[in-house]
Amino acid sequence: MENFEELIKSEKPTLVDMYTTWCTPCRMMSPIIDQLKTDMNETLNVVKIDVDLYKDIAIKYNVRSVPTLILFKNGEPVWRHSGVLPITTLKEEINQFI
């Protein structure tokens, strides 16, 4: 993913979903992330990264379990969470940084 660094440096906060295709909690989180992307399209970028395909990004950001969500603001991680979250909780967490 050549433009990953550019994406996270956006002025608009960027939520990165670090996942794998074989992970059951990741599959549970996928529709939640899709809904979040629809609901917060104006204020938030959402990027999904398959850590099996982009191991270098996972290593750089110390991703040890999936799903891991990392919120970047101006290129810096400001929040992270591993595991499944309901959409209401996820929105509350993200809105603290928007």
Taking alpha carbons only, the member of 51, 48, 41 closest to residue 13 is: 41
Catalytic-residue membership of 23: yes
Q: What is the pLDDT along the chain (98 residues), one digit of tens a residue?
A: 678 999 999 889 999 999 999 999 999 999 999 999 999 999 999 999 999 999 999 999 999 999 999 999 999 999 999 999 999 999 999 999 98
pLDDT score, position 70: 98
Q: Which domains are seen in the chain, by residue range?
A: 10-79 (3.40.30.10)
Residue from 23, 46, 84, 87 carrying the catalytic annotation: 23
Which residue's entry shows tokens 């950001």?
Answer: 61
pLDDT score, position 1: 64
Catalytic-residue membership of 68: no
pLDDT score, position 15: 98
Residue from 15, 26, 69, 90 carrying the catalytic annotation: 26
Give the rounded distance of the alpha carbon of 47 from its chain centre: 6
Q: How far is Cα 10 from Cα 35, in angstroms, rounded to an integer?
A: 21
The DSSP-derived string for 28-48 is HHHHHHHHHHHHTTTT-EEEE
